[in-house]
Amino acid sequence: MTEPAEQPYALATIRGDGSAEITIQGRTQELGAPTVEQARASVVSYLAHRARPLGVPIHVVVDDPEGQFVLVVNPDGSLGETFTSEPDHDTIPPGGHRGEPVDGEPDAPSAPAVEPSTTGPGTPTPSAPEPGTPDPTRVADPASAWGPPGQREAPAAAGPAPVAETVPATAAALVQAPPATVPQPAADPAPVPAHPVSGGWSSSPPAGHDPRPGWDGAGRQAQQLQQPGGWPQQPPGAPAPAGPAQPAEGWPADPSATMTRRQMRESFLKAEQTEAPASTGLRGMLARVGVRVQPSEAERAERADIHAVSQHWPGVRTIAVVNGKGGAGKTPTTALLSATFARYSGAATIAWDNNETRGTLGWRTEQGKHDATVLDLIPRTAELLDPGARAGDISHFVHHQAADKYDVLRSNPNLLSSEQRISGEDVDAIHDVLGRYYRLIFVDSGNDESASHWLRMIDKADQLVVPTIAKPEHAEAGALLLEALTRRGGRSADLAQRAVVVVSQAREKDVNPSAAEIARGFEGWVSEVVTIPYDRAMVENVLRYDALAPATRRAWLRAAAAVARRL
């Protein structure tokens, strides 16, 4: 009787874009291919390359767009049998662990090794047992095979000895196997128990593993289920074909030609990121005096938000700030989100007042050395878009915020709306100009949701922000707007679904309802809701980021990160 050769296990993930990841013996290798089929070929070729010096096949659990299953990759690149991978939690005795006796019961006898079964030309294939006769390939339940507790000798019986455990696996679904080399025995309802190993699969077959391809440790043949990807199903009792097992449909017959030398070796470059020590609070104080302390969870969350806001996206991004009711907080939201992005990302950022009914963004921000508004820019759009225009030419029409690092394109609140009508075509021209000189465009909108310039702004937007103060009428106006955009369908509905809602506590003593209560009403049907605490600096005339309290600045950073993650 011989011991089966040690067979390593691997995990492989194949993604729909052709990328793949293989983990074997604790080491991970990234692969890439133009298609899923070529990625499969690369995975098989890489595992065959790793199996050759070992001289044994590698069992691999594959997570593929077609499903999850298990393969055996031979050193020559061919695919061997697969086995069932459905965990059976019912086989764990109460109070004990799989393969361990329950308190008060004697130890189960150890299982003898099982001789490998060979099948090929000239070797007769065992036939199914006659009805009414014991099946020599089927192992009885271990409890009945070994008798009642205390009996240490097995009764005489034909066929292989029972084993203590069956072959384990952790795949999420039963696996389709290629044609088996033995007949299909009678169905056994007991599934194969699982064998979870911390950190992945173990490097050798678990205890009780039956080396016969397609069989588990209890002598039961692996179940055959039709899986996506074209695995053939072998009828019960059909003879097995001679020669090596054939690969499943979609997997290469000869994958070695698809692997490059570069893919066959592991890179010397490891992507390791060292976390910076704590910088705030008591932990930060200890770090500054030489004691290296990890940051707290709150500091890690703040770093993650800063990283999200600091990104530079390819192309221009437009964020529309919308609510049909005046006084909902659109102007403070526009100004403070612009300031947060400009400070952390360094990207050229502009806040545009797309409001023909006395928009107040110009009143709530610093004025430059001129009094130009959007009405002065519209007649000059062709000049600003001319190839000969220079980067500084836009400064004649916008007002720079010295401390907060963004610019403002004002409307003229001193004119009646009838005197400053802006059409959809004007919005197109303004957006084209701003997109040439800025990377981030925040648009403060008016209250007329039917106006052509308002609708055209929605068409230009990449992300919606719906501000509201903690008052039911303002929150209801924001909710009705989102419902109307959803009914509009298409891109408008997508923007409504991905919207970020910002709820501000506008008055210190006005806490019924609170911002948190209003926020809970929006949860579940927008992408994220962020609350802003009351801050007197937000109700004063000019909005400045540095004037806010630390808690308020942190809340605006959280709101900006929520927007950034959806750009």
pLDDT on residue 184:
43
Reported pTM: 0.56
Establish how many alpha carbons lie within 13 A of residue 508's alpha carbon, considering only the half-sphere containing its beta carbon.
5
- Residue 44's pLDDT band, with cuts at 50, 70 and 90, is confident
Q: Which residue has the higher pLDDT, 246 or 564?
A: 564
Can you spell out the DSSP letters for 277-330? PP-SHHHHHHHHTT---PPPHHHHHHHHHHHHHT---SS-EEEEE--SSTTSSH
DSSP letter (8 states) at residue 415: S
Query: What domains are there in the chain, each with its CATH number?
Result: 1-94+165-263 (no CATH), 305-564 (3.40.50.300)
Q: What is the pLDDT of residues 509-555, one digit of tens each?
A: 777 889 999 999 999 889 999 999 999 999 878 999 999 999 999 99
> Which pair of tokens denotes residue 463?
């992300």
Coil, strand, or helix at residue 246?
coil
Q: Nearest to residue 313, comparing CAs of 367, 267, 269, 349?
A: 349
Nearest-angstrom CA–CA distance, 284 and 357: 49
The more confidently predicted of residues 262 and 1 is 262
Burial class (CB in 10 A: 0-12, 13-18, 19+), 273: exposed
Between CA 295 and CA 277 the distance in angstroms is 6
- Calculate mean pLDDT across residues 379-385: 95
Return the DSSP state at 276.
P
Task: Kindly indicate the confidence band of residue 254, based on its pLDDT and cuts at 50, 70 and 90.
Answer: low
Least confident segment among 20-29, 265-274, 364-373, 556-565: 265-274
DSSP 3-state assignment of 440? Answer: strand
Residue 90 has, within 13 A of its CA and on its CB side, a CA count of: 5
Q: What is the pLDDT of residues 259-285, one digit of tens each?
A: 666 666 777 776 666 788 888 887 888
Kindly tell me if the per-residue pLDDT of 40 is higher than 50.
yes
Q: What pLDDT score was predicted for residue 271?
A: 65
Q: How far apart are CA 436 and CA 100, in angstroms?
A: 70
**Residue 255 — pLDDT band, cuts 50, 70, 90?**
low
Res 131: pLDDT:
45
**Cα–Cα distance for residue pair 348/228, rounded to 1 Å:** 49
Q: How far apart are CA 492 and CA 459, in angstroms?
A: 8
Assign 346 a pLDDT band (cuts: 50, 70, 90): very high
Q: Is the pLDDT of residue 223 over 60?
A: no
CB 36 within 8 A of CB 20: no
Query: At a CB cut-off of 8 Å and minimum separation 6, what does 269 contact?
Result: none
**Mean predicted confidence (pLDDT) in 419-433:** 89
Q: Residue 460 in 3-state DSSP?
A: helix
How far, in whole angstroms, is CA 142 from its chain's centroid?
A: 43
pLDDT at 65: 84
Q: Using CA atoms, how far apart are residues 400 and 350, in angstroms rounded to an integer?
A: 9
- Model pLDDT, residue 36: 84
